[in-house]
């Protein structure tokens, strides 16, 4: 053919992190069919949807089978009932977000990957280590990516003072609680980023997918910070909060006042969604609405407490062993320094071969992840306890 391809895709790593993990685990399983492997690598939930959510979904499915209550294409931006429920959810945390600024989607990953569609050729600033979709989606668009390094010294919460590429307008990606490190920004830390964005004319893309895991007095939304409404959007998800990894639902807040080149970003995002997205199906949106009810939030928090208990088991082990780590308190992830200065893939192989425990090598999240390792708390309590017992003997 004589058509042109988007060769920016060729700059993306050919081997996806979790594909490589899967290949190594499959090889080990084939060679050791008797082995009982415990997987603490991929950040996927394991508890089922709660009854408050499934009752709402079941009722909505029944409505779809009756002529008077059947619904066709959903609104591209989300049903008003869910947008209002999300707005009320913010109000419980003393954040005022009008429903008209909220756009319902099929998940935070989709919105993180799609938002560059409405932006021009900008300089991008991304913390390292990082969730791969931030880098990959901007690489696909041919954007120039600058990294700001997370480290033990800054607690894996890099600040504007850590920028080495100069002060200029950036599209800045911040994830708090962070995936993969589990680190959480303080209000003072986020205020520094907001002040930097306002000073330089930058846009902050704030990923709050894990906000429900925060138990201490730390910001759960960028919009808790004064001035954020003038320089930030926020992406959030039902995946970890309500266990929607298999049903897919999330949202993005795009304040009405944000503009770039004199164009309102909300108008561009609305147009993008109307053109390329047909909306989230009605039963899932009713389930999401139910998850945000008083009873739904209570049930969702019971599941989060279950995962928090798993995280505490792992974090307590790291503390006993004197291993540096972040996360594990306000996050489902434990980000640990590999003992004895091991490389993260070497540590992966050791855990797999000697303890039959699977985690995620930090190098897969960027150069600053070299020598670090991520464990998740999303397994069952029994499997997590067994994994901790095995690691206790090995480390």
Q: Where are the domains of the chain?
A: 14-43+302-394, 51-295
On whether the CB atoms of residues 100 and 78 are closer than 8 A, the answer is: no
**pLDDT tens digit sequence for 18-35:** 788 989 999 999 999 999
**pLDDT tens digit sequence for 87-107:** 999 999 899 999 999 999 999
Residue 194 CB partners (closer than 8 Å, separation 6+): 204, 222, 225, 226, 227, 228, 231, 232
- Burial of 97 (C-beta count, 10 Å sphere; 0-12/13-18/19+): buried
Which pLDDT score, from 0 to 100, does residue 19 have?
Answer: 83
**pLDDT tens digit sequence for 183-206:** 999 999 999 999 999 999 999 999
- Burial of 390 (C-beta count, 10 Å sphere; 0-12/13-18/19+): middle
pLDDT band at 170 (very low <50, low <70, confident <90, very high): very high
Which pLDDT score, from 0 to 100, does residue 42 have?
Answer: 82
Which pLDDT score, from 0 to 100, does residue 289 have?
Answer: 98
User: Would you say domain 51-295 falls under CATH 3.30.230.10?
Assistant: no
Which pLDDT score, from 0 to 100, does residue 3 have?
Answer: 87
Q: Is the pLDDT of residue 259 over 90?
A: yes
Query: Lowest-confidence range among 9-23, 50-64, 217-231, 327-341?
Result: 9-23
User: Would you say domain 14-43+302-394 falls under CATH 3.40.190.10?
Assistant: no
Q: Is the pLDDT of residue 251 over 90?
A: yes
**pLDDT tens digit sequence for 286-313:** 999 999 999 999 999 999 999 999 999 9
Which pLDDT score, from 0 to 100, does residue 305 have?
Answer: 97
The chain-wide mean pLDDT, for the chain, equals 96
Which pLDDT score, from 0 to 100, does residue 343 have?
Answer: 96
Rounded to an integer, the average pLDDT of 147-173 is: 97
**Strand stretches in the chain, DSSP E:** 38-39, 102-105, 123-128, 144-149, 171-175, 203-207, 232-237, 250-253, 259-260, 263-264, 325-327, 333-337, 357-358, 360-361, 372-376
Q: Is the pLDDT of residue 120 over 70?
A: yes
Which pLDDT score, from 0 to 100, does residue 15 have?
Answer: 62
Query: Lowest-confidence range among 35-44, 324-333, 336-345?
Result: 35-44
């Amino acid at each position: 053919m004589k058509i042109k391809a988007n060769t920016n895709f060729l700059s993306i790593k050919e081997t996806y992190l979790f594909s490589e993990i899967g290949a190594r685990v499959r090889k080990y399983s084939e060679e050791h069919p008797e082995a009982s492997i415990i997987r603490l690598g991929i950040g996927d939930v394991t508890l089922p949807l709660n009854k408050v959510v499934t009752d709402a979904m079941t009722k909505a499915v029944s409505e779809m089978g009756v002529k008077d209550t059947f619904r066709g294409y959903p609104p591209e931006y989300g049903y008003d009932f869910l947008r209002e429920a999300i707005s009320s959810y913010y109000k419980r945390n003393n954040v005022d977000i009008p429903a008209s600024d909220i756009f319902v989607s099929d998940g935070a990953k989709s919105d993180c990957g799609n938002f560059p569609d409405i932006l021009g050729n900008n300089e991008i600033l991304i913390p390292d280590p990082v969730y791969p979709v931030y880098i990959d989606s901007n690489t696909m668009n041919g954007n120039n990516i600058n990294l700001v390094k997370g480290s033990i010294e800054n607690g894996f919460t890099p600040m504007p003072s850590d920028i080495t590429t100069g002060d200029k307008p950036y599209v800045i990606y911040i994830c708090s609680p962070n995936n993969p490190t589990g680190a959480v920004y303080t209000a003072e830390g986020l205020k520094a980023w907001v002040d930097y964005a306002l000073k330089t004319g930058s846009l902050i893309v704030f990923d709050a997918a894990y906000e429900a895991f925060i138990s201490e007095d730390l910001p759960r939304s960028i919009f808790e910070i004064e001035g954020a409404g003038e320089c930030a959007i926020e992406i959030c998800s039902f995946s970890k909060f309500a266990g929607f990894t298999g049903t897919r639902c999330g949202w993005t807040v795009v304040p009405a006042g944000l503009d770039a080149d004199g164009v309102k970003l909300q108008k561009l995002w609305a147009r993008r969604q109307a053109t390329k997205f047909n909306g989230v199906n009605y039963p899932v949106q009713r389930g999401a609405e139910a998850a945000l009810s008083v009873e739904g939030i209570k049930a969702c928090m019971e599941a989060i407490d279950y995962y928090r208990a798993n995280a505490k088991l792992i974090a307590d082990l790291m503390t006993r062993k004197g291993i540096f780590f972040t996360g594990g308190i306000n996050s489902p992830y434990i980000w640990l320094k590999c003992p004895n200065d091991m490389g993260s893939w070497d540590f992966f192989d050791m855990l797999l071969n000697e303890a039959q425990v699977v985690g995620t090598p930090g190098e897969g999240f960027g150069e600053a992840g070299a020598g670090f390792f991520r464990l998740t708390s999303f397994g069952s309590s029994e499997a997590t306890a067994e994994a901790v017992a095995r690691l206790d003997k090995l480390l």
